[in-house]
Structure 1
Amino acid sequence: MASDDSFHRPTKFPPHVFDSYLGGEDPARLSRMAHDTAAALLARVREDPDPQVVARLISYTDEHGIDAIAELWAQASAKSLPGALWRVYLLRTLIRQDPQGVSLGYQRGAEVSHTIDQVVAGAPVPAGPDEVRELADRILHGLFVGDFAVALDRAAAFCRLVGVGYTSLADDADAADHVHPDRPRELTQRALRLTQLADEFAACARLWRRDALD
């Protein structure tokens, strides 16, 4: 991964930037470098999962910033190995930058959802900021040393729950919040993006199980 000094300071970005990362169309032709680096990294770590190496990979964006990962993988197809890795790092960054808001969405989603997503995601309820941060790290850890498809399924379930939670919170805000009139729209947009992300994680998990995630 890139080691330029400009990446040593983590890049902070507000929620609308997260939305723009996920909202763009995937390019028709992908850089071979993205696929090669993702495959080589994953194969090397899974062959010899040194705990210190895995820990550094999980926390890589804390030191170098999300841009260091984006430069390699952000333009890859959503249904590809680099695309999947990029989206998990992006989700982790979102959680770490707004753990309070994400945990609120997760808790609401767990309350109103009637699916097994809470069990699949693996976070307790109530899940506070510390719990959702820990879950993000566990999901990323699972990509490198556990069942890759299961880790993606957990990420998908988490995104679905938070998306459902944001939709419910948007309904509440629409009825009651006259101080922040844009809040319902922002929550609804975030819910749509997370639903999209969940679908992409689930698709990648299916491809991985068929040995077809390039």
Structure 2
Amino acid sequence: MTSGESRGGAPRHHRPALFADLTEMIDAAGGDASPSTRAEVAAATAAAVVTAGRGPGDDDLFVALADHVGLDTLAALWRDSDPVSLPGALWTLYVLRQWCHGDSAGVTRLWRTGEPLAPADAAVAGLPDYADEEAVRRFADAVLGGLYRRDLAVALERAAAFFRVVATGRRAAGDSGGTGNVGDSVAAGAPERTGEPAALADRNERAAASLGAAARLWRAGALH
């Protein structure tokens, strides 16, 4: 399959202009830009990506946005945003996808440990029983796909539930494996940082709380 084709062989509708705009906005946000300007750029690019992703065309392109523009590109835009904001929520979801694809074995181990201990959250996240690595990768793609194709709030709530199950798994297993550091060293391509399981579980739970708050704001029409 060539880069210009979809899985079904039909031509992909690339949006190179969007990626060029993202790069220009990163430049605008860098250097001596004031904090308010950086926040404005983050909010503007996040809104542009959500709007474009919900338009007609190739939704898969936006699910795999970090693969196309680089996670470091998204980090430059959104990493320092308030977690309870549109750019902050998008950043968390894209790092979650990177984690699920890059360390699917570690994530699956944490999920399987936490799933029976947090059945309500596991049901909200929506993975199959005793999910395998492929199911974990599909989940991460489906969450971003839901953001662009269906209800953004539901996508955020699924991701929040997933983080709570993972946190439960960490605490039960005493597991410090995997990144667990949403918005941390993954963006820079640095080696994964490890830490005490309880501290990493706390980070997972904070990510879940931020995503849940963002979902409520989206439903209220107040997530920016």
Classify the TM-score, shorter chain. 0.7 to 0.9
Aligned mates of 1:117, 1:37 — CA distance in 2:
31
Q: How many residue pairs get matched? A: 179
Separation (CA, whole Å) in 2 of partners of 1:210 and 1:185: 37
- Runs of 4+ with >3 A deviation: 27-30
Provide the residue aligned with 2:80 in structure 1. 75
Alignment of 1:11-30 (within 5 A): 29=36, 30=38
Q: Which letter maps to 2:201?
A: A
Structure 2 CA distance for aligned equivalents of residues 45 and 63 of structure 1: 14
Distance 1:49 1:122, change over 3 A: farther
CA offset digits 1:188-208 (Å, max 9, x no partner): 232111111000100000000
Alpha-carbon distance change, 185 to 39 in structure 1, aligned in 2, over 3 angstroms? closer
Aligned residue among 30, 35, 38 for 2:46: 38
1:161 aligns with 2:165: yes
User: Any conservation in 1 of the 2:83–2:210 contact (CA below 8 Å)?
Assistant: yes
Instruction: Give the alignment's Cα RMSD to 1 decimal.
Output: 2.5
Contact persistence 2:127–2:136 (CA under 8 A): yes
Alignment-mate amino acid for residue 218 of structure 2: W
Question: Any idea what the Cα deviations from partners look like across 1:143-174, whole Å, max 9, x if unmatched?
Answer: 11110100000000001001100111108x9x
* Residue in structure 1 matched with residue 100 of structure 2 by the alignment: 95
Cα pair distance change 1:41/1:63, threshold 3 Å: closer
Question: Higher mean Cα deviation, 30-39 or 55-64?
Answer: 55-64
Distance 2:95 2:206 in 1: 14
**Which one-letter code corresponds to 2:126 in the other structure?**
G
| Structure 2: segments with no counterpart, 5+ residues | 1-17, 21-33, 178-193
Select which of 193, 200, 205 maps to 1:195.
Answer: 205
Among residues 130, 134, 139, which one is paired with 1:135 in the alignment?
A: 139
- Counterpart CA distance in 2 for 1:49 and 1:154 is 24
Q: Give me the whole-angstrom Cα distance separating, in 2, the residues matched to 1:64 and 1:41.
A: 12
Contact between 1:170 and 1:185, CA under 8 Å: does it hold in 2? no
- 1:122 pairs, out of 111, 120, 126, with 126
Q: Give the TM-score of the pair, scaled to structure 2.
A: 0.73
Contact 1:49 1:145 in 2 (8 A): no
Distance 1:185 1:170, change over 3 A: farther
Alpha-carbon contact 2:146-2:152 (below 8 Å) kept? yes
Higher helix share: 1
Q: Does 1:206 pair with 2:216?
A: yes
- In the alignment, the residues of structure 1 paired with residue 111 and residue 199 of structure 2 have an alpha-carbon distance, to the nearest angstrom, of 16
Q: Percent identity?
A: 38
Structure 1 residues not aligned, in runs of 5+: 4-26, 174-183
